[in-house]
């Protein structure tokens, strides 16, 4: 495994799907990644702590949006400013990733990078770290590829993205990728589930140069805009770009996926999924107890 990989925590989203609940919990407009939903800590803080065993503190970047400064400043009060990638506006995951990669390349050429959303839950963090370790190892062996983490699917979820796996790499939990299915119909989700396809966790690992190569192939305007000296104007004119849908989905031949079978991954993207995840894992935060008594 690469001795010192980098982590990028993606915390620039607006959290609109969960906002009806997070507003009740926090009393303000903070996006979910800055909300204390579990164990009295924000999802951003939990993500940061979860990754500490693998990623050094000074090799962790945080992609945020300027409008959220009042919320992220508390979580990142002890973080070097060079590690905080402040975007003028939220322009989607591909733009946040590109800006973070360019920042890393200013500090280290040919860096190995792992991307992590900050709105996920894992019931077994040791299993997650094991899967990340496999992915980092295979990224070194396959520098031309992006390595994804695909969670074992337990039911035919229609709100998740799915990864249709291809041929396995012998003696490993790694597979080639045939294609993505973004929020399939229930009928399709049932078919994907029966065939052992995986939920797309969006956790992605690879060399910075490889990520940027794929970005140039699919959305060269993103990188051109980030070279503009007036970033405020550049972001204002830039069309949003979704990394999974616009960058990865058209290029399955450049992807590998690690089958994550034990981490208990869940996306906390909606009130229903958040509460069902808490109930399934027997977690009862104070705000949920309070809601039950109202």
Please write the tens of the pLDDT for every residue from 117-172: 999 999 999 999 999 999 999 999 999 999 999 999 999 999 999 999 999 999 88
Instruction: Kindly tell me if the per-residue pLDDT of 64 is higher than 60.
Output: yes
Residue 255, number of CB atoms within 10 A of its CB: 23
pLDDT score recorded for residue 85: 98
Tell me the whole-structure pTM to 2 decimals. 0.95
For β-strands 146-152 and 255-260, DSSP reports them as parallel
Is residue 110 pLDDT above 90, yes or no?
no
Residue 152 and residue 260 in contact, taking contact as beta carbons nearer than 8 Å: yes
Question: By mean pLDDT, which of 16-20, 40-44, 210-214 is the weakest?
Answer: 16-20
Confidence band (pLDDT; 50, 70, 90) for 286? confident
pLDDT band for position 289 (cuts 50, 70, 90)? confident
> From CA 161, how far away is CA 188, in angstroms rounded?
12
* The predicted structure's pLDDT at residue 121: 96
* CA–CA distances in Å: residue 40 to residues 46, 48, 123, 134, 221: 10, 14, 16, 31, 40
Burial class of 60 by CB neighbour count within 10 A (0 to 12, 13 to 18, 19+): buried
The answer to whether residue 1 scores a pLDDT higher than 80 is no
- Residue 200's pLDDT band (cuts 50, 70, 90): very high
Q: Looking at domain 6-293, which CATH architecture does it have? A: Alpha-Beta Complex (3.90)
**Is 223 a residue whose pLDDT tops 70?**
yes
Q: What is the pLDDT of residue 294?
A: 63
Question: What pLDDT is attached to residue 178?
Answer: 97
- CA 222 to each of CA 46, 85, 188: distance values in angstroms, whole numbers, following the listed order: 30, 16, 33
Each residue of 3-13: pLDDT tens digit? 699 999 999 99
What confidence score (pLDDT) does residue 3 get?
67
Whether 272 has a pLDDT exceeding 60, the answer reads: yes
* Residue 262 tokens, joined: 């034990």
């Amino acid at each position: 495994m690469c001795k010192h990989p980098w982590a990028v925590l993606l915390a620039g989203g607006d959290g609109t799907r969960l906002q009806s609940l997070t507003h009740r919990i926090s009393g303000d407009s903070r996006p979910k990644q800055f909300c204390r939903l579990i164990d009295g800590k924000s999802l951003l803080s939990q993500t940061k702590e979860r990754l500490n065993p693998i990623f050094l503190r000074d090799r962790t970047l945080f992609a945020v949006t300027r409008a959220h400064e009042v919320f992220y400043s508390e979580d990142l009060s002890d973080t070097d400013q060079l590690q905080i990638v402040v975007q003028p506006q939220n322009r989607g995951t591909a733009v946040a990733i590109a800006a973070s990669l360019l920042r890393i390349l200013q500090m280290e050429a040919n860096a190995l990078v792992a991307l992590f959303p900050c709105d996920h839950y894992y019931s077994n963090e040791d299993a997650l770290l094991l899967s990340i370790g496999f992915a980092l190892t295979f990224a070194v062996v396959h520098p031309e590829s992006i390595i994804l983490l695909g969670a074992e699917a337990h039911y035919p979820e229609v709100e998740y993205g799915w990864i249709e796996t291809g041929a396995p790499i012998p003696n490993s939990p790694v597979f080639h990728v045939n294609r993505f299915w973004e929020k399939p119909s229930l009928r399709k989700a049932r078919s994907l589930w029966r065939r052992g396809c995986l939920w797309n966790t969006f956790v992605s690992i690879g060399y910075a140069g490889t990520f940027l190569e794929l970005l140039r192939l699919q959305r060269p305007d993103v990188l051109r805009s980030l070279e503009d000296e007036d970033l405020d104007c550049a972001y204002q004119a830039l069309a949003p770009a979704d990394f999974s849908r616009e960058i990865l989905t058209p290029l399955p031949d450049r992807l590998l996926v690690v089958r994550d079978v034990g981490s208990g991954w869940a996306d906390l993207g909606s009130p229903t999924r958040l509460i069902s995840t808490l109930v399934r894992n027997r977690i009862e935060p104070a705000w949920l107890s309070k809601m039950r008594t109202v």
